[in-house]
């Protein structure tokens, strides 16, 4: 009986949080993220730097949906084809399909197949080399904002963490002053699997931070995220279906500014 009550309570909180998110998608919640000081719209060229095909759909889709639905110009740089199991070419195609679902134009999506950046645990990615590749992209597409993993990289995967190091290296080295960078904050394991319920803690942590240093972005299209992840057919096994449904990263992203 008690277990039943606990189950019902959890289900009610879960659904209420999901309603809050869907409600926000009907009445877009006014985030000041990417508005200039006067609050007016300015179109930005944003580069998302990830490690493997499917990172964009599994972790960053609230951010991607937020930016594309506001007319910003989204680019994705994926540092590997995810070739750990020898199916890099398949996974690359899946990245393009998922990007199309997320409304990122195909010509703005790149999956590198570079000998120095191969998918896998224990493969160290050289941050100077990564920095140079990021720099080339930034110059080629007049990028003024970068979004990437934080120092823990959501799952602690070394490739995610090396991507953060490479972007930080780029920021220290670049002479461009007007470029800003944001990292996706990794949360603890309880928050990670609390699904939409995590929006409350995310709101609270972003709101109690220094003004403008953190932003909490709700996913206005959670079903689109699920659809994007399902384009990664080679990865679309039962535990990832569960992950996408129960992970807080499907519903909310908290971004923190990387200060140089
Ligand atoms: C990373 O690459 C640079 C050349 O771009 C090299 O000088 C440096 O030693 C490399 N670092 C490591 C840890 O291999
Ligand atoms: C640092 O910037 C210079 C000038 O843009 C560039 O030539 C060099 O490759 C950069 N080094 C790294 C590690 O990004
Ligand atoms: C954030 O803080 C401000 C005051 O600092 C408050 O007015 C606002 O309601 C808070 N928002 C949330 C979502 O907690």
Domain encompassing residue 244: 41-257
Average model confidence (pLDDT) across the chain: 92
Give the 3-state secondary structure of the chain.
CHHHHHHHHHHHHHHHHHHHHHHHHHCCCCCCCCCCCCCCCCCCEEEEEECCCCHHHHCCHHHHHHHHCCCCEEEEEECCCCHHHCCHHHHHHHHHHHHHHCCCCHHHEEECCCCCCCCCCCCCCCHHHHHHHHHHHHHHHCCCEEEEECCCHHHHCHHHHHHHHHHHHHHHHCCCCCCEEEEECCCCHHHHCCHHHHHHHHHHHHHCCCCCCEEEEECCCHHHHHHHHHCCHHHCCHHHHHHHHHCHHHCEEEEEECCC
Distance of CA 132 from the midpoint of ligand 2 (Å): 6
Does 32 sit in the ligand 1 pocket, CB within 6 Å? no
Q: Is residue 36 part of a domain?
A: no
Q: Is residue 6 part of a domain?
A: no
Q: Given ligand 1 and candidates 126, 127, 130, 136, which is best to mutate, with the most ligand atoms within 8 Å of its CB?
A: 126
Q: Is residue 20 part of a domain?
A: no
Mean pLDDT of 206-214: 83
Of 106 and 176, the one with more pLDDT: 106
Q: Is residue 33 part of a domain?
A: no
Mean pLDDT of 215-229: 93
Does 155 sit in the ligand 1 pocket, CB within 6 Å? no
Of 224 and 27, the one with more pLDDT: 224
pLDDT tens across 74-121, in order?
A: 999 999 999 989 999 999 999 999 999 999 999 999 999 999 999 988
The ligand minimizing its distance to the Cα of 138 is 2
Based on the structure, what is the number of domains in the chain?
1
Q: Given ligand 1 and candidates 114, 117, 128, 135, which is best to mutate, with the most ligand atoms within 8 Å of its CB?
A: 128
- Nearest ligand 3 atom to alpha carbon 204: 14
Task: Determine the pLDDT at residue 94.
Answer: 97
**CATH number, domain at 202?**
3.40.50.10320
Q: Which residue has the tokens 């959670």?
A: 222
pLDDT at residue 153 above 90? yes
pLDDT tens across 181-195, in order?
A: 999 999 999 999 999
Structure tokens at 193: 């699997």
pLDDT tens across 12-67, in order?
A: 999 999 988 888 765 555 566 776 556 667 889 999 999 999 999 999 999 999 99
pLDDT at residue 138 above 80? yes
Name the band, by pLDDT with cuts 50, 70 and 90, for residue 130: very high
Does 129 sit in the ligand 1 pocket, CB within 6 Å? yes
Task: Determine the pLDDT at residue 208.
Answer: 82
Provide the CA 39 distance to its chain's centre, in angstroms: 24
Q: Is residue 139 part of a domain?
A: yes
Q: Is residue 148 part of a domain?
A: yes
Mean pLDDT of 199-203: 90
Task: Determine the pLDDT at residue 204.
Answer: 86
Q: Is residue 3 part of a domain?
A: no
Task: Determine the pLDDT at residue 31.
Answer: 61
Distance of CA 203 from the midpoint of ligand 3 (Å): 9
Does 245 sit in the ligand 1 pocket, CB within 6 Å? no
């Amino acid at each position: 009986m008690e277990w039943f009550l606990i189950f019902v309570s959890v289900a009610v909180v879960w659904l209420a949080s999901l309603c809050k998110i869907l409600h926000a998608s009907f009445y877009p919640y006014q985030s000041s993220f990417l508005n200039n000081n006067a609050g007016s719209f300015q179109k930005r060229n944003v580069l998302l730097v990830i490690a493997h095909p499917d990172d964009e759909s599994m972790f960053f889709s609230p951010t991607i949906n937020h930016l594309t639905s506001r007319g910003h110009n989204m680019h994705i740089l994926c540092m590997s084809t995810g070739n750990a199991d020898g199916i890099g070419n398949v996974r690359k195609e899946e990245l393009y399909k998922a990007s199309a679902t997320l409304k990122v134009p195909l010509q703005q999506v790149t999956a590198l197949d570079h000998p120095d950046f191969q998918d896998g645990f224990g493969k160290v990615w050289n941050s100077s080399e990564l920095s140079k590749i990021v720099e080339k992209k930034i110059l080629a597409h007049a990028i003024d904002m970068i979004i990437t993993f934080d120092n823990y990289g959501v799952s602690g995967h070394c490739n995610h963490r090396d991507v953060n190091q490479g972007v930080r290296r780029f920021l220290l080295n670049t002479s461009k002053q007007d470029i800003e960078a944001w990292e996706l904050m990794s949360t603890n394991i309880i928050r990670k699997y609390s699904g939409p319920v995590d929006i409350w803690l995310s709101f609270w942590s972003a709101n109690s931070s220094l003004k403008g240093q953190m932003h909490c972005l709700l996913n206005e299209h959670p079903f689109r995220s699920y659809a994007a992840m399902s384009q990664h057919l080679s990865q679309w096994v039962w535990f990832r279906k569960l992950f996408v449904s129960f992970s807080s990263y499907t519903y909310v992203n908290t971004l923190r500014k990387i200060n140089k």
